Amino acid sequence: MKNSLILIGGGGHCKSCIDVIEQEGRFAIAGILDKTELVGARILDYPIIGTDEEIPRLVPDHYFLITVGQIKSPSTRLAIYTKLKETGARIATIVSPRAYLSSHARLGEGSIIMHGATINAGATIGNNCIINSHALVEHDAIIHDHCHIATGAIINGGVAVYEQTFIGSRVMTREYITIGAESFVAGGMNIYRDLPKQSRVTPS
């Protein structure tokens, strides 16, 4: 029997997560939590059953996955993750069967590895991360907690991406550099040097 799963956040990222969850086949989606005014609506045939105020009531019988996206700020995902931990919730970790996760890599709770992503040997993915479709995290790279590595990004060997950082689509990093916490790197950028905390790298 599959474990029951509650999703938190019903936007576009949720739809992509649903597809990965269905393909992985370990969980049965029982419903989605979102804003009060959206209760009763459906996302890809799954009902929005309440708001995150329902979390304590649902904790005993369900696992949870945060399906809110993360681009401009990690604050919403971080707040939900903190609330889940405070209530003792079981937080799911999801890996697409169409992704490659090395048996020599480590993956934290609440993270999702989307279709086509590759996590190579010696890499570490922290808690509550999104490794999006066709992203590459090379050998010995470390993605700290609450990061989003967006579609098609390339994190080369030995890179450290610190917590609450967004790496945009098709970003490429040089090997063995450090990207400081709470940074934002816009899509398509090439990063060749260390970035300090709270860096913002966008097209000039």
Helix and strand element counts for the chain (H, E): 3, 24
DSSP three-state, residue 17? helix
Q: Give the strand order in the sheet containing 190-191.
A: 100-101, 118-119, 136-137, 154-155, 172-173, 190-191
From 13, 62, 134, 139, active-site residue: 139
Distance between CA atoms of residues 38 and 148, nearest Å: 26
Residue of 42, 6, 38, 41 lying closest to 21 (CA atoms): 6
* Alpha helices, DSSP H, located in 25-107: 55-58, 75-86
> What value, to the nearest 5°, has the Cα angle with vertex 89 and ends 160 and 18?
70
Contact between 137 and 149 (Cβ < 8 Å): yes
Phi and psi torsions of 173, nearest 5°? -110, 145
State yes or no: is 104 an active-site residue: no
Residue of 102, 103, 99, 123 lying closest to 112 (CA atoms): 99
Residues acting as catalytic residues: 139
